[in-house]
Each structure stands twice: as C-alpha cells, then as structure tokens.
Amino acid sequence: MHSMEDDIQKVLYSREKLAEIVHGVGARISRDYEGKNLLLVSILKGSVVFMSDLMRSITIPCSIDFMAVSSYGSGVKTSGVVKIVKDLDIDLKGWDVLVVEDILDSGLTLSYIWKLLRARSPKSIRLCTLFDKPDRRSVDISADYVGAVVPDEFIVGYGLDYAQKYRNLPFVGILKPKVYGG
C-alpha cells in the first residue's frame, strides 16, 4: 500500500518542533494582546491545524472566527483574484483582529483579505503566519508573527496541502517533485 509518507522527500519540521514553534508564537500573542479584545480569524482550509494548536497555546481570553476564500489560478500559482466562499460571522468593530494563516508566500490573497477586513473598522489588525516564504512574495505584505521562514520548496503537512491531500500529516515535509510534476 502506498503511504503519504512515501511522497515526502525530507521532513522539515517534526511534530515536536512544530509544537515548540506554535507554543512560542502563542506566548508572544498572549503577552502582546493582554487586556485587548482579541479575535483570531483563521483562513480556511490550510490554517485549521495551526489555528487549533495556536488558540490552545494562547493563555488570554480570545474569540475565533473563520473565513474561506478561493483564488483563481492554475493549481500551484495564485492569481490574487479572490472569491469569498465563507465570510466572517462577527462584526469587526471593537475587535483586535489577528489573521491566522498557514503560509505567506506570494501574499496576493492575504493582501486582498487584509484590505477587506481593514475596511470593516476593527480596533487593530495584524497578521500571524506559521510559515513565511519571502522568496515568493509579489506584493508588499509582511506578518507581525512568524513561526518560521521556509525555503522556496513545495511543502505539505500540518494543514498544508497539494491537491487537497497531505494536510493530515503531523509533520511538515518537502514533497517529492515527481508527485506534482515539478
């Protein structure tokens, strides 16, 4: 039987290392947002695993909400043209919003979401990403909280997918190029 792990060239972050990274980010957020009205906004689907662990590592009161967007592009490339599939349930006025993403690469989709949410008048808005891939950036956007900077490789696991697969791997690894025809 073919296992998902057979498609992984190399493990970049083990389950233990990810837990350590997330705990560190959670501790910083807890300090910075002490006494504030924190709302974590998870961008589905990729950030769901990170969001789940991150919110449990935050030690101050916070609320959560979810947003799902789809960007039109050819598979591995994003066009930055975004359609909202699921919008937030919460009115952002009075909230200190922290957008939670799995990976910041081109920044096109996030830049769009950022402008959209900022227009809804939250008290503040910041960005938290588990992984930052600065080599891929095509717009001027950066995260306030970054778990780790990753090389320009095709990574999967811990929420990150290729063709909706591999999200459930408990670690993050580099996908073998033969899998995606790279």
- The CA distance from 73 to 87, in Å, is 21
Q: Look at strands 124-132 and 96-104 and give their pairing.
A: parallel
Is 105 annotated in the active site? yes
The residue annotated as part of the active site, out of 7, 96, 102, 105, is 105
Residues 6+ apart with CB under 8 A from 17: none
Q: Which residues are identified as catalytic?
A: 105
